[in-house]
Amino acid sequence: MKPLLGAVIIAVFASTAQAQTLFSPDLPLVVYDARTTDLAEFKWKKRPVIVFADSTEDPAFVSQMEFLVRRADDLTERDVVVIVDTDPDARSAIRLQMRPRGFMLTLVGKDGNVTQRKPFPWSVREITRSIDKMPIRKREIREAKEAAEG
């Protein structure tokens, strides 16, 4: 898993202003840098998963990123974007708003409200289960089922 993790970190921090599509178009997980990202741009469009840590070498951060990359398709299916903040000194607007202490994973709904905060890595299975319980996601599932039937 080490080369995979190195590629994730390189992809995350390769650009200061642009989102990075990790590895190839075959893996559609998009990762944004919190320093140059405004949560308002995702409202009603995407579900941000924000990963905070005090360093890219934090074991919890490393583990969380591995979880996210391993099941990127499940996240993309649910309109998830990942926002990463591993520089507390940069004091990004998102960090100031969320106030993490060390590692923290935050799930934000399409309505812009924080739905989950976890002080430890969370598997994609747990993240997707939480998303699938959200009212907007239930509506999306229902509408997709109706479109398939009709």
pLDDT at position 30 is 87
Buried b (16+ CB within 10 A) or exposed e, 45-61: ebbbbbbbbbebebebb
Higher pLDDT: 9 or 118? It is 118
H or E stretch covering 32: strand 30-33
Provide Rg for the chain, Cα atoms: 15
Question: In whole angstroms, what is the distance from residue 78 CA to residue 18 CA?
Answer: 21
Q: Summarize pLDDT for 45-93 with one digit per residue, the tens.
A: 999 999 999 999 999 999 999 999 999 999 999 999 999 999 999 999 9
Question: Does the predicted TM-score (pTM) go above 0.75?
Answer: yes
pLDDT at position 26 is 53
Q: Which domains does the chain have, with CATH numbers?
A: 2-149 (3.40.30.10)
